[in-house]
Amino acid sequence: MRVIDAFVESLDVIEMGFDKARTAATGRRPYHPGDLLKLYIYAYLNQTSSTRRLEKE
């Protein structure tokens, strides 16, 4: 949803305390906290509590 994307992109996730937003140069990169926040908000708005149901959507 574009509204969720625009909202999360307007936030400064590093300032909010998500220190994993800056990744190290070594190892596999983790998911960006902003992407996970978008997924969480989408699930909340669609009243989806199951990760399997969320995966289907």
pLDDT digits (tens, 9 = 90+) for 8-39: 999 988 888 877 666 677 777 778 888 888 99
What residue segments make up the domains of the chain, in order of their start? 2-21+30-46
What global pTM score does this model have? 0.72
Can you give the pLDDT at residue 20? 66
Q: Are 13 and 21 in contact (CB under 8 A)?
A: yes
Q: Are 34 and 13 in contact (CB under 8 A)?
A: yes
Compute the distance between CA of residue 52 and CA of residue 57 in angstroms, rounded to an integer: 9
Query: DSSP labels for 1-57?
Result: -HHHHHHHHHS-TTTTT-GGGS--SSSPPPPPHHHHHHHHHHHHHTT---HHHHHH-
Can you give the pLDDT at residue 33? 85
Can you give the pLDDT at residue 21? 64
